[in-house]
Chain A
Amino acid sequence: MNEAQTNFCDDDLLIRSLDDDLDAAEKERLAAHLETCRPCRQQLARLTGFSRDLVRRVDLAAEAVDFTALEKDVLTKALRPRRSTNGGAGWFRALKFGIPAAVTAGLLLFFGYGQFMVNSGPPPSAIINSFTGSMSSVMIFETPETSQTILWYTEDTDVESESDAV
């Protein structure tokens, strides 16, 4: 270690020495410097005193704090806004989307049910309300796909024979 290095005043080195952050060479250099430099010795004494005083005051302040009450206060403040968010505002926000969604779902169900469930096929082309006559037989049926109504009858024999003559 040369003399120039030991005679150089370094505040940063002093502060780091208080934090016990110096390696062996730096400690040796600082010690050699302090032997010959009175201002640095005074500076180190001031810093050490300030540091001790700070630690003592922090300890005193920490002792004065009621951590249980502080924890309770913090929790109360943290939960208060959340409670209000989940309250009225949240409820109205849910209604804003919930009501249109419910109405849409209801309409889809209503028309979907009417369209695809109730009217599963086309309505019959004709509905026979009443039927009277003199004939051998009559059948009423409808085609399976398009529900065309068919009325099929067989005329009486005497009427048939007349028609065949035409």
Chain B
Amino acid sequence: MRSRWLLLQLFALFVIVVCTFPATGLAKEQFRISVDTILASRQGQGVDPQLKRHVGELQSMFNYTSYRLLSSERLNLKKGQSGTVSLPGGRRLKITPHRIRGKRAEIALQMMKKKRTVFQTQVQLLNHASLFVGGPKHKNGNLIFKISGDY
């Protein structure tokens, strides 16, 4: 009888822990990061079909007339593991996921050009969401890197 009561208490504790910390308690700590490179320019018209869903709101903020997907790269990273994505113009983006906290993953980003670090940042990226990093000039427009995460 006493052992049954103890089991019941342990089960209740398990339920409370799982309900309180669902992401940290059950996450596999596997990070799927994707980096889409977009060229936004004021020459030409149109948005690549695969970008329409993502850049819809960007169009209302920037006055670019054309959004073209240049490349897409996927990375499967473990906690603390770094992966690098090659970007146009000799740029490289080094991505290192550190940990998951709630619905967000803490990720370190390092943008490099040739051997020089342009910037490095620590972000908390929401699961199934994207961070848009943009600005560098490329050809007749500007590059926008869409960094998305699934954990």
Contacts and interface: CB of A to CB of B under 8 A. Distances in A.
A127 interface: yes
Contacts of A164: 137-138
A165 to B, nearest CB: 9
Interface residues of A, number: 32
A126 interface: yes
A133 B121 CA distance: 9
Interface string A129-145: 11111110010000111
Q: Is the interface of B mostly helix, strand, loop or mixed?
A: strand
Given A127-B124, A131-B120, A162-B89, 4 more contacts: A133-B121, A143-B58, A153-B134, A159-B113
Contacts of B57: 143-146, 148
Contacts of A150: 58, 61, 131-134
Given A163-B91, A166-B89, A131 B119 contact: yes
Given A131-B121, A163-B113, A123 B126 contact: yes
Nearest to A123: B126
Interface string B120-141: 1111111001111111111000
Contacts of A151: 121, 131-134
A126 B126 contact: yes
Interface in B83-122: 88-91, 104, 106, 111, 113-114, 116-122
Contacts of B130: 125-126, 148
A164 B91 CA distance: 12
Nearest to A151: B133
A145 B57 CA distance: 8
A59 to B, nearest CB: 80
B132 A155 contact: no
A31 to B, nearest CB: 100
Contacts of A67: none
A163 B90 contact: yes
B137 A163 contact: yes
A164 B140 CA distance: 9
Given A125-B125, A129-B124, A160 B131 contact: no
